[in-house]
Amino acid sequence: KEPLCECNSCYAGSDCSVFIPGCSANADGGNPLFLEPFWVQHAASSALLIAGWHRMSYTFNDHTFISQELERLIRKLHAVVGNAVTDKRFIVFGAGSTQVISAAVHALSPDNASSPARVLASIPYYPLYKIQTELFESVNFKFQGDTSQWKNSSDTGANMIEFVTSPNNPDGQLNKAVLHGPHAKAIYDRAYYWPHFTPIPAPADEDVMIFTLSKLTGHAGSRFGWAVIKDESVFDRMTKHIGVNSIGVSRDSQLRALKLLKVVLEGEGREIFEFGHQTMKIRWENLVKGLSSSNRFSLQKIEPQYCTFFHEVRESSPAYAWLKCEREEEKDCYAVLKAANVIGHEGGVFGAEDRYLRLSMIGSQDDFDLLIDRLTKLVSVEAGAR
Ligand code: PMP
Kindly report the protein residue whose alpha carbon is nearest to atom 4 of ligand 1. 191
Q: How far apart are CA 238 and CA 248, in angstroms?
A: 11
Same domain, 199 and 215: yes
Among residues 236, 268, 300, the one where a domain terminates is: 268
Ligand 1 atom index nearest CA of 99:
14
pTM, two decimals, is 0.96
Same domain, 73 and 201: yes
Same domain, 243 and 318: no
Ligand 1 atom index nearest CA of 213:
16
Among residues 268, 296, 314, the one where a domain terminates is: 268
2 pLDDT more than 70: no
pLDDT at position 243 is 95
The number of folded domains in the chain is 2
Mutating to test ligand 1, I would choose from 212, 213, 219, 250 the residue with most ligand atoms within 8 A of its C-beta, which is: 212
- Domain assignment present for residue 46? The answer is no
- Domain assignment present for residue 1? The answer is no
159 pLDDT more than 90: yes
Q: What is the ipTM of this complex?
A: 0.99
356-360 and 345-346: which strand pairing? antiparallel
Cα 61 to ligand 1 centroid, rounded to whole Å: 30
* CA nearest to 191, candidates 216, 164, 218, 224: 216
pLDDT tens string 250-304: 999 999 999 999 999 999 999 999 999 999 999 999 999 999 999 999 999 999 9
55 pLDDT more than 90: no
Is any ligand 1 atom within 6 A of the Cβ of residue 297?
no
User: With contact defined as beta carbons under 8 Å apart, do 32 and 214 qualify?
Assistant: yes
The proportion of the chain whose per-residue pLDDT surpasses 90, expressed as a percent, equals 85
Cα 384 to ligand 1 centroid, rounded to whole Å: 40
Same domain, 169 and 23: no
Cα 47 to ligand 1 centroid, rounded to whole Å: 24
DSSP string spanning 157-186? Answer: SS-EEEEEESS-TTT---------STTEEE
pLDDT tens string 84-119: 999 999 999 999 999 999 999 999 999 888 899 999
Same domain, 181 and 196: yes
Among residues 222, 244, 268, the one where a domain terminates is: 268
Same domain, 256 and 329: no
The proportion of the chain whose per-residue pLDDT surpasses 70, expressed as a percent, equals 97
Is any ligand 1 atom within 6 A of the Cβ of residue 189?
yes
CATH number for the domain spanning 209: value is 3.40.640.10
Measured from the Cβ of residue 81, the count of other Cβ atoms closer than 10 Å reads 21
Same domain, 349 and 213: no
pLDDT, averaged across the chain: 94
Q: How far apart are CA 132 and CA 119, in angstroms?
A: 11
- Domain assignment present for residue 353? The answer is yes
Is any ligand 1 atom within 6 A of the Cβ of residue 210?
no
Same domain, 327 and 345: yes
pLDDT at position 156 is 60
| Domain with 193 in it | 68-268
pLDDT tens string 112-152: 888 999 999 999 999 999 999 999 999 999 999 999 988 87
Measured from the Cβ of residue 383, the count of other Cβ atoms closer than 10 Å reads 10
CATH number for the domain spanning 310: value is 3.90.1150.10
- Domain assignment present for residue 22? The answer is yes
Confidence of residue 4 (pLDDT cuts 50, 70, 90): low
User: With contact defined as beta carbons under 8 Å apart, do 130 and 144 qualify?
Assistant: no
Q: How far apart are CA 31 and CA 364, in angstroms?
A: 8
